[in-house]
Amino acid sequence: MTQVLQQTVPRIKVALIGYGFVGKTFHAPLISAIEGLELFIIASSDSEKVHHDYPAVEVIANAEAAITHPEVDLVVIASPNATHAPLAKLALETNKHVVVDKPFTLDLAEARELIEVANRQQRLLSVFHNRRWDSDFLAIKTYLLAGKIGSIAHFESHMDRFRPQVRDRWREKAQPGSGLWFDIGPHLVDQALQLFGLPQSVEGNICLLREGAQIDDWAHVVLNYTQHRVILHCSMLAAGGSLRFVAHGTEGSLVKAGIDQQEAQLAAGVLPTSDTWGQDDDQVIYYCSEGKAHSLATPAGDQSRYYQGIADALRQGAPNPVSGVEALAVMAVIEAAVAASQSGQRQVLALTEHEIAQLR
């Protein structure tokens, strides 16, 4: 367990590295919603874009200069995936606390190195697995933990999109850290691990389906547990008809059709301080053992709870909302699925006994 030196300053000054879709849509507004955090610097080459949204925030074009700024306490890495590890390492070695957007790193070796540096520097290292606080996930988690459908036998989690045209952007180019599995897979995997823990083995089928695709745009991964199976699926060619979650158990089934609305709200300018923040009117359908359908309420989501957790960890010594070893486990499943797809054989997770013990 990493011992983190707590902050005594009233507000924690944050440097946000990157102001693309993720930095602008998620990190900046969620950070700004937390009283104990101050969005102090944004590293971006487009100062006009940043100042349109945050006129008082300092903009620095150079990421390294923003990271090493002497007044910065916490660095949030929201730059392209291949830069996560080197920028996070620089921040940790400069005695900054660090939040890394998913995916944590490109591989397990990079993830382990960052955890080691954070331990040595006694700095907080956390990964932005914000989907733990989605309404759809909170709903399915609530009813599974309550034993609504008895013992789980079959669980499916889908995050599908309809983007038939290949876009000219780094996420869709053939380069390390790109592709749909590295983009959506960490969300699917982290939620599954939160519900069920580490699987015994992983099967995977990851491929390119769209004309002109350079990197994977479809993934179907199976996590094998002793008494149940978990299916994780994402696609760029699903115009409709997908269900977000399906769970079958010994005493019934649960179905959640609609997705969490926070991303759409943030993109539309709705902030976490809004009265409608995180509301989800799409109810969970519970099929009892007699086959009758019943509607169950969906709780509101609130991804700002992640950054509230970061503030509490740094100011009060509260637990890290997403620890480095938890993110390491996600990367182990991501890697295992890729290896399974390439080899056509089941894979076990490449985690050490010590790492597994920390996750129990």
Task: Give pTM, 2 decimals.
Answer: 0.95
The rounded distance, in Å, linking the Cα atoms of 145 and 142 is 5
Type of residue numbered 36: G
Closest CA to 113 of 90, 89, 91: 89
The rounded distance, in Å, linking the Cα atoms of 69 and 327 is 27
Q: Quick: pLDDT tens for 85-124.
A: 999 999 999 999 999 999 999 999 999 999 999 999 999 9
Q: Quick: pLDDT tens for 218-264.
A: 999 999 999 999 999 999 999 999 999 999 999 999 999 999 999 99
Question: Residue 5: pLDDT above 70?
Answer: no
The rounded distance, in Å, linking the Cα atoms of 101 and 81 is 8
Q: How far apart are the first and last CA of the chain?
A: 13
3 state SS of 5:
coil
Question: Residue 265: pLDDT above 70?
Answer: yes
Instruction: Look up the CATH number of domain 135-300+335-343.
Output: 3.30.360.10
Using pLDDT thresholds of 50, 70 and 90, give the confidence band for residue 1.
very low
Task: For 12-129+306-322, give the CATH class.
Answer: alpha beta
Helices (H), 252-323: 262-267, 304-316
The alpha carbon of residue 21 and the mean position of all alpha carbons in its chain are separated, in whole angstroms, by: 15
Domain boundaries defined on the chain: 12-129+306-322, 135-300+335-343
Closest CA to 331 of 207, 155, 141, 177: 177
Closest CA to 166 of 209, 207, 219: 209
Q: Percent helix, strand and coil across the chain, each rounded to 5?
A: 35, 20, 40
**CB-CB neighbours of 195 under 10 Å:** 17
What is the DSSP track for 52-115? Answer: HH-TTSEEES-HHHHHT-TT--EEEE-S-GGGHHHHHHHHHHTT-EEEEESS--SSHHHHHHHH
Question: Residue 16: pLDDT above 70?
Answer: yes
